[in-house]
Every structure is written in C-alpha cells, then in structure tokens.
Amino acid sequence: MAMQVPKFDGVVIEAADVAVDMLFVPVFQDEGDEPLHAIPGLREASAGWIAQVRASGEFRAKAYEFFIVPVRGSWKAKRVALVGAGLRAELTAERIRLIAASCGYTARLRAVSSAAVLIRGGLDPVSTAAIMADGLSAAEFDSGTYKADQTVEGRYPAELVVVAPGANLAAVRAAVARGRLIGDAANQARALANEPANVLTPREFAARVAAMGTAAGVGVDVLDETRLRELKMGLLLGVAQGSAEPPRLVVLRYEPKGATGGPVIGLVGKGVTFDTGGISIKPAEGMDRMKDDMAGGAAVAAAICAIARLGGPHRVIGVIPMVENMPGGKALRPGDVLTAASGTTVEITNTDAEGRLILADALWYAQQLGATHLLDVATLTGACIVALGKTASGLLGAPDAWVETIRTVAARAGDRVWPLPLYSEYREQLKSEIADLINAASGRGAGTITAAWFLREFVKERPWAHLDIAGTAWSEERKACQPKGATGAAVRTLIDLGMTAGA
C-alpha cells in the first residue's frame, strides 16, 4: 500500500489557535518560567502542570527531553509537548534541526494525525522555519522497509505545521517548502545507504541515481565498464575486478540557464556498494554495515537533485564511481601496480584502501568535465572514527581558504566537521619503491590524513576539500532525534555549497 504523502505547512497565528493533536513547544534549560509568560495563556491552559514540573525538576529542558500535558480552555491543540532545547547559548542550526526531528519521531511513535512545532521568540522565523521543516522530515524516513510488520515504527503524521506567530506568512511557507525539500533529499540518501548490497549493486545504484537525476531535470551520463576502459580509469577498474558485478560511474550535471563564468562546483562521492576489504579482508564483526560504504555517493546524488529543484544559480557537476570490493579470483592483490586515468602509478599495499582509488579517478574526471572547485565525500577511513568519533566528520584540503569555506558552509547547514592538517611530512608516508605512490601508508598513524594526501595528488592546483564521513554516516544506536541507521551526513553541506558556491 502506498504511503500517504504528509502535508507540510507554515502558519503565523498564535500558539493557542493551532488546531493539531500535539503542539511541540521548545523550552530552554536556563529560562525558568519564561515560556509560561512568553506564550499567552499557556499557564492557564495547562492547569498549572507546566509550572509544577518546571519547579519540581521533573522537566529540566535538557536537549530532546519531553513532557506532554493535555490543554484546555480556548486552546485548539489537544496536547502540548514541552521539548527540551538545552542551553540557549548552545542553540545552533544543527540543534534546531535535531529538536524538530525529535518532535517528528515522538509524534510518529505516538501515532498522532497532526503535529506542530512552535518557533520561540528571539529566533529568525524564516530561517528557523526552514530548519524545522527539514528536521521534521527526518522522522518520515522508514528504515524497516523489509520488515513484515510495517507498524512497529508508528505512524507518521498526515499534517505537520511550523508555527511562527506574527511573521510574514508567504515567507514562512516558502521556507517550510525549502526545508521540506532539503529534508527529503537527506532521506533519499539515507534510503539508498540503507539498502542491502544484494539489492543495491553498482548497476542498480547507477539506475536509481539516473532516475533521480532525470526526475529532477539534471543531465545524466552513466559510464559502463567499456567506457571506463576507454578513459583508462585503472584505479576504479582495479577495485572492481574482484567482483562479478561490473562497475559504473555516474555523472550528474546541473547547468542553470544564464549561468556563465563563475565557479563550477565539482562534487565527488564514494560509491562502494559493499566493501569486504578485498584480499585484505575485513573482520567479520561489523562487516554487514559495509553496505553503507556508498553513503558519500548517495549524498552527492541527493544533493544535486535538490539543488536543481531549488533552482540554484551555479553550475554543479557530480561524479559518483560505483563498485563492489570483493575477494574474487581476479581480485586486486597487495603488491599489484595500477595506473590511474591521470597517468599516476599506484602500488597497492592494502586492498581495503579502495575508496581513495576510485575517488582518485573520479576527481580526475570531474576536472576534465570542467569543475573548478572540488569537494569529495566518502566513508573513507576507520582512522577518522578513532580521531573524531561519530560526532564530527573530518575535513581536509587545500588551499586553507577553500577548507575554511567548506567549514563555514557546513556550520551554516548544520553538519559538524573538524579540520585536520595536511602537512607535507605526511606525504612522505606514501612513497613507493616501484611506483609513484602507495595506496595505504604503513603503520596506524594519521590514516585519515595520509588518505587525504593520496587524493590531493590527483587534484593538481584546483581548490579541493575532502569530507571523511566514516563516523557520521551511520548511527549505531537509537536516539530521540535519530534512529539506528543511515544519517544522511553531508547532504545539507553539499546543497548549501551548490546553492551559494561558498559565498
């Protein structure tokens, strides 16, 4: 049965006049009884319950904490749900989005038909409305599509409303529509990353991305193994040779009318649909999660389609190499030497360092297609998880000004990234005795940095940055604002970059 598409809307009426099953009211940890005074009639409508739970400490307004009370009198909502927003000084775009997401998940688990989130005073109503709509969309994603019982995750509301009392109605509604589109893009990337590898093979991944691009009005070119051989993409083909599934490389082109001159943003996403590690095989524990090793490619595809739908003013090119990394009889071996499309030779020291190989050929190709500014996204190194855990993505690149641009864009978009250095000494760890480079530096130190240095060898002098989302692409546990599974990491950063070119 087809799932009903929920209705998203923005309104500018007072909280008391919003007729929904559940109205979510964000409360800051350090504001005391302020919401009772700032929201007319809330104290009386809750029959004193809100004041009581705040005074007793039963509801402390810690981030994503909830307290639900029925309301009465002239209030049109059936229930008010206080949602903790943490400390006011810690409020960021990311925090706002995650608060809205937690409201969406709570509404879903309680199977309410309609829900609304109130924008508190002191926040810009338009930008906040977009962020909240984005966050509310997150709860629509269904990670259990292969379960026989489709009711275990509750029912998503048929109607979601963002409430911005006194704001401009047209501006708020436009912002809600924009945020909804961005949230839907993140969900598309999550859905792709959630697919099992026996379903999402390189050919199927290419077909789905091509269909997404066509639906969004984006130019699509799918390169098969014959075309890849003609382009001499030896690194990409080398990774793919151990699998019965042939590789693909998908190019997405967004070229808005009237776009002349200016930067051409090149987005490159790793698309390893399953990664065994190849001959350098991974341990069995956790290998099932390697179906998400194409999360970077999914993020690029979803972002470019969203940029097109949003009518971005800049040209954007997406390049997504798609392979399986398998230990078949023809698989790449440690000690083999491959030649990249750029002519650079690479000695393979570890077949589990395959992502950088396919990205290297893809980065070269993005430049051949005219990209002037590059950003690649990949679940690239376990070392990044060691360095930054699962809270932030690693950011590396050159020159420093471009790296700082990406950092600013990510902060604005609500993605956490943290820069790591690319000192020249790290390049020494990639020296080979028989080729231009080795693909994996010896030892455990600085694995994320040496992987990025490998990629840098293929971008010449163009501004380039690399996002390692190995730790952020997948949530290992259920949280109030995120269930276990794919997160859609980097999608929002890529959309913002494509829309603004970093301005």
Summarize pLDDT for 334-374 with one digit per residue, the tens: 999 999 999 999 999 999 999 999 999 999 999 999 999 99
What is the overall mean pLDDT for the chain?
94
Tell me the CATH class for 8-183.
alpha beta
Taking residues 286-309, report their average pLDDT: 97
pLDDT for position 154? 78
For 201-251, what is each residue's pLDDT tens digit? 999 999 999 999 999 999 999 999 999 999 999 999 999 999 999 999 999
Q: Where are the domains of the chain?
A: 8-183, 195-500
Q: How many whole angstroms separate alpha carbon 8 and alpha carbon 138?
A: 13
Taking residues 32-43, report their average pLDDT: 78
End-to-end CA distance of the chain: 44
Catalytic annotation present for 412: no
pLDDT for position 481? 78
Of all residues in the chain, the percent with pLDDT exceeding 90 is 83
CB atoms within 10 A of CB 272: 30
Q: Are 438 and 432 in contact (CB under 8 A)?
A: yes
For 470-487, what is each residue's pLDDT tens digit? 999 999 887 777 888 999
List 110, 232, 282, 412, catalytic entry = 282
pLDDT for position 185? 98
For 13-30, what is each residue's pLDDT tens digit? 999 999 999 999 999 998
Which phi and psi angles does 479 have, rounded to 5°? -125, 170
pLDDT for position 2? 43
pLDDT band at 442 (very low <50, low <70, confident <90, very high): confident
Catalytic annotation present for 108: no
pLDDT band at 444 (very low <50, low <70, confident <90, very high): confident
Tokens coding 68: 């639900």
pLDDT for position 3? 55
The SS3 call for residue 362 is helix
Indicate the residue type of 446.
Answer: A
pLDDT for position 1? 35
pLDDT for position 483? 80
Tell me the CATH class for 195-500.
alpha beta
List 173, 190, 291, 356, catalytic entry = 356
Find residue 479's DSSP bridge partners: 482
pLDDT band at 95 (very low <50, low <70, confident <90, very high): very high
Q: Are 161 and 7 in contact (CB under 8 A)?
A: no
Task: Specify the pTM.
Answer: 0.96
Q: How many whole angstroms separate alpha carbon 137 and alpha carbon 185?
A: 10
Q: How many whole angstroms separate alpha carbon 429 and alpha carbon 68?
A: 57
Residue 466's closest CA among 474, 478, 458? 458
Q: Are 158 and 113 in contact (CB under 8 A)?
A: yes
pLDDT band at 151 (very low <50, low <70, confident <90, very high): low
pLDDT for position 152? 58
362-366-367 Cα angle (round to 5)? 120
